[in-house]
Amino acid sequence: RKKCLLCNNLLMIVAASIMGCSKIAQSFEMILIGRFMCGISLCVPLHHQYVGEISPRKLRGFANSTSSFFWALGKAVGQISGQRELLGSQSLWPMLMASCGLPALVQLVTLPFFPESPPYLLMHKGDQEGCKKAIRQLWGEGHHQAEIDDIMKEKATMKNTKILSVLELMKERAFRWQLYMIVILTATVQLCGINAV
């Protein structure tokens, strides 16, 4: 999880650099390339997954809701800083385009000091000692055996679950309507005008 987030941050920094240099290079194509790279980044689902996995159970819902809050806050800050009086002027808009790299840079610098998520260590790596160490580092000293037992139960449940590839998921008739609903909801969110608002 952590390595994927770090790689994703590198992608965002490269995208921000490309967009920031588009005016110097006099290339609008660089903006398109940078925006495409921002679009394929996995920031939102990775953030939810990592934050949810490193949070104690009693704070998990709150921690997962921070993603939506900061997403909305980021849009608001982007709208405000895009005003002509701030970064939306003729000379400063490349800085506005490149500003998406700032949060990625902060996360890239700070994330190595955080441990890998305990469920990932235990379920995918089989590292029980690493899991305990990560839990102590994240949640402090104390008795956390109940959380480890929950992760072990989830691991046992996952053994009996077949993991489908994207192509297999699309072919599976049992998931067809759920897949249609997800595609429709995702498309309508993009078409509803929230970005314009």
- Dump pLDDT digits (tens) for 71-105: 778 888 888 888 888 888 888 888 888 888 888 89
Task: Say if 128 falls within a structural domain.
Answer: no
Tell me the residue length of the chain.
197
**pLDDT value at position 105?**
92
Same-domain status, 171 and 91: no
Same-domain status, 15 and 88: yes
Task: Say if 31 falls within a structural domain.
Answer: yes
Same-domain status, 109 and 169: no
DSSP alpha helix (H) spans, 82-140: 93-98, 101-110, 118-123, 128-139
Same-domain status, 15 and 99: yes
Q: In 10 A of CB 51, how many CB atoms? A: 19
Same-domain status, 109 and 190: no
- Dump pLDDT digits (tens) for 174-186: 888 888 888 888 7
**pLDDT value at position 14?**
92
Same-domain status, 166 and 106: no
- List Cβ neighbours of 2 (8 Å cut-off, separation of 6 or more): 50, 111, 114, 115, 116, 117
**Taking 60 as the threshold, does the pLDDT of residue 189 lie above it?**
yes
Instruction: Give dist(CA 166, CA 194) in Å, integer.
Output: 28
Last residue within a domain, chosen from 114, 132, 154:
114
Helix (H, G, I), strand (E, B) or coil at 25: helix
Last residue within a domain, chosen from 79, 98, 114:
114
Confidence label for 8 from pLDDT (cuts 50, 70 and 90)? confident
How many domains in the chain? Answer: 2
- Dump pLDDT digits (tens) for 161-170: 777 777 887 8
Same-domain status, 4 and 73: yes
Write out the residue range of the structural domain in which residue 21 sits: 1-114
Instruction: Give dist(CA 10, CA 42) in Å, integer.
Output: 12
Task: Say if 141 falls within a structural domain.
Answer: no
- List Cβ neighbours of 33 (8 Å cut-off, separation of 6 or more): 15, 18
pTM of the model as a whole: 0.69
Task: Say if 77 falls within a structural domain.
Answer: yes
